[in-house]
Amino acid sequence: MTEASNPTIAALVARSNRLGSDPRNTNYAGGNTSAKGLEIDPVTGEEVELLWVKGSGGDLGTLAEGGLAALRLDRMRALVNVYAGPDREDEMVSAFDFCLHGQGGAAPSIDTAMHGLVDANHVDHLHPDSGIAIATSADGEALTTTIFGDKVVWVPWRRPGFQLGLDIADMKANNPAAIGCILGGHGITAWGDTSDEAEKNSLWIIETASTYIAKHSRPEPFGETLKGYGALAETERRAKAAALLPTIRSIASQDRPMVGHFTDSEVVLDFLAAAEHPRLTALGTSCPDHFLRTKVKPLVLDLPANASVDESISRLRELHDAYRDDYQNYYDRNAVADSPAIRGADPLIILVPGVGMFSFGKDKQTARVAGQFYVNAINVMRGAEGLSMYTPIDESEKFRIEYWALEEAKLQRMPAPKPLAARIALVTGAASGIGKAIAHKLASQGAVVAIADLDLAKAQAAAAEIGGSDVAVGVQADVSDEVQVQAAIDATLLAFGGLDLVVNNAGLSLSKSLLDTTVADWDRQHNVMAKGSFLVSRTAARVLIEQGLGGDIIYISSKNSVFAGPNNIAYSATKADQAHQVRLLAAELGEFGVRVNGINPDGVVQGSGIFSSGWGANRAAVYGVDEKDLGAFYAQRTLLKREVLPDHVASAVYALVGPDLTQTTGLHIPVDAGVAAAFLR
């Protein structure tokens, strides 16, 4: 992180990072912080008082100076004189743009008024579970006085905006002993004359609330344990989760494809085992940051943990129909003439007793964060129920925020998704060479990728090169082993929630003449490529069909599938097998929207695991060239006289699975720089 240009900014960023890095203080991208201070106006050369506040959509834990909005404090406070009341609230956000100072910086958030109007140099607005538990308690106002005395004051629920800023400013002016407030249904705000004081006051409110809840909460805030709803053993619940995920993803993706995240933490499992979970989940979340990412309430499977997979699938589909009807009714009850169009009626959180939580979003990070927010909501419910009764804000208020014109505008400002966004890929043999290049290409175009390889450590290292676990994961698989193939696909489902795109790339090469080829050679070659591709495709097809979202299966075959060359009977025969699998599966899976296509590369020497493992030396000996010159030799025998690289094969894969060849199936694309003897006929 670069050093801040102003000591006030430096202190603000450091405080924000400390507060935001601890999930007890606030959720991801939730809350905001600010500081007021002086800076020289480059136009006048005179000091001007500024407000620096975390911008819209930023995360406190990773905030840098560029994520702050800087506003002229005199102009921002002058907006009080033109504020026309809550009915004109939304106009004030665009008015903040006329208060900005300098170039760059983030867009001011809806909470800017809270920070500018409160008479304190440093202000923190946070969403701690302990604070929201008090804020959502039926008797939250009385609890605020009991817990904090006159140091913290209750402010009734009001939608974030200019009026809330005025309310808090008035409250502070009328309560000189107060260091902060509980915002009904929402969170906390604290302040201080210095950055350290504001942080100290924020942490004191959070810790005091947490300590009080721990000391005074009733023993079983979620009620007694429901018989049969306890957590399954870890191996059993993860196996059941993987078995349910194709159906669950289809439920979450009826309106648009989603990426998923699975959570089987103790917090979730204990909540779903308790008697009150049906009542509490139906009440929905309260804090705006929560329900904007989780929808107002989850879909909850109402069957015990030991219900069969088939029984669970049947019931989930029934519940999905009911959920969509319920959400449409929620929209219809609350929408007004200028409300944004409904954004989809599928759940973002699906809860399965004994198994865990499935959260969904436009990408893996969004799905993972949605799950984190629902864990926050569970913690809030526990705290509120332990002291009083959980009472979230009214449905109408939730709708006003979920379908707020300002929220819609923020969504419309989001960058356009990449072509493969929300697509989940599995590439076999992807720790090196062609497979690795394909994985990088798919990820660069927006897909999340599971890299499967015989060597788990190498698969994980290759995934790490692409990015963190929100983008790529490594899984172990011997594709010739049915159990390991199933395990690899299950791991992909648990990592990303589903599967859309499979690349059969795993392979090996034995360069031997007919008379030198043993039965063991033949079996090994066919087990890895012919049988392996069959096992991967069959296992993946079950997922693709159940999801109902179509999909792609790609075979990395070879020029040798149609070209007869010396000393490679086992390799070429199995490549011909793979090539015909493409045609057979294209014919069989088309009715499910699954496209099956192939790539026929040749002479891909650079970075190839196959060539480096002995095949290169053997082929060089066959052709009478040095191994180091093999790539150039292959290039010279082509029509284009160009060497074929892994990236060229990866580009061909993308051409088949991207947006331009959506009507194509059963095709083989040569990527060989032109080998006339291998032309397809």
Token pair for 15: 């405080």
Interhelix angle 195-216/7-20, rounded to 10 degrees, is: 20
User: What is the mean predicted confidence (pLDDT) over 583-597?
Assistant: 98
Q: What is the H or E stretch that residue 331 is in?
A: helix 309-334
Average pLDDT on 31-37 reads 95
Structure tokens at 262: 């699975």
Of 502, 559, 556, the C-alpha closest to 680 is: 559
Q: What is the pLDDT of residue 629?
A: 83
Tell me the torsion sign for CA atoms 299, 303, 306, 311: negative
541's CB contacts (< 8 A; 6+ apart) are 553, 585, 589, 592, 594
Binned at pLDDT 50, 70 and 90, residue 89 comes out as: confident
Mean pLDDT of 422-433: 96
Structure confidence at residue 567 (pLDDT): 85
Query: Quick one: residue 368, left, alpha or beta (phi over 0 = left, psi -120 to 50 = alpha)?
Result: alpha
* Separation between Cα atoms, residue 621 and residue 517, nearest integer Å: 17
Residue 3 pLDDT exceeds 60: no
The C-alpha torsion from 5 through 7 and 11 to 12, rounded to 10°, is -60
Give me the active site residues, please. Answer: 571
Average pLDDT over residues 383-390: 97
Residue 321 has a CB neighbour count (10 Å cut-off) of 10
Mean pLDDT calculated for residue range 246-255: 98
Question: Mind listing the pLDDT tens digit for each residue in 323-347?
Answer: 999 999 999 999 999 899 999 999 9
- Per the prediction, the chain carries an average pLDDT of 94
Sign of torsion, CA 651 434 446 498?
positive
pLDDT at 575: 94
User: What's the pLDDT tens digit per position in 389-399?
Assistant: 999 999 999 99
pLDDT at 217: 97
What's the token pair of residue 478? Answer: 């011997």
Phi, psi of 8 (to 5 degrees): -65, -40
Indicate if the pLDDT at residue 2 is higher than 60.
no
What is the value of pTM for the model shown? 0.94
Residue-level pLDDT at 51: 97
Amino acid at 279: R
Sequence-ordered list of residues with C-beta below 8 angstroms from that of 144, at least 6 positions apart, any chain: 134, 152, 153, 154, 182
Distance CA 373, CA 366 (A): 10
CA 412 to chain CA mean position, Å: 19
> Which range is least confidently modeled, 205-219, 268-282, 606-620?
606-620
pLDDT digit string, tens, across residues 492-530: 999 999 999 999 999 988 888 999 999 999 999 999 999
Alpha-carbon gap, residue 68 to 34, rounded angstroms: 9
| Tens digit of each residue's pLDDT (9 = 90 or more) over 523-579 | 999 999 999 999 999 999 999 999 999 999 999 999 999 998 888 899 999 999 999
Please tell me the distance from the alpha carbon of residue 640 to that of residue 636, in angstroms, as a whole number.
8
In terms of average pLDDT, the best of 15-29, 45-59, 263-277 is 263-277
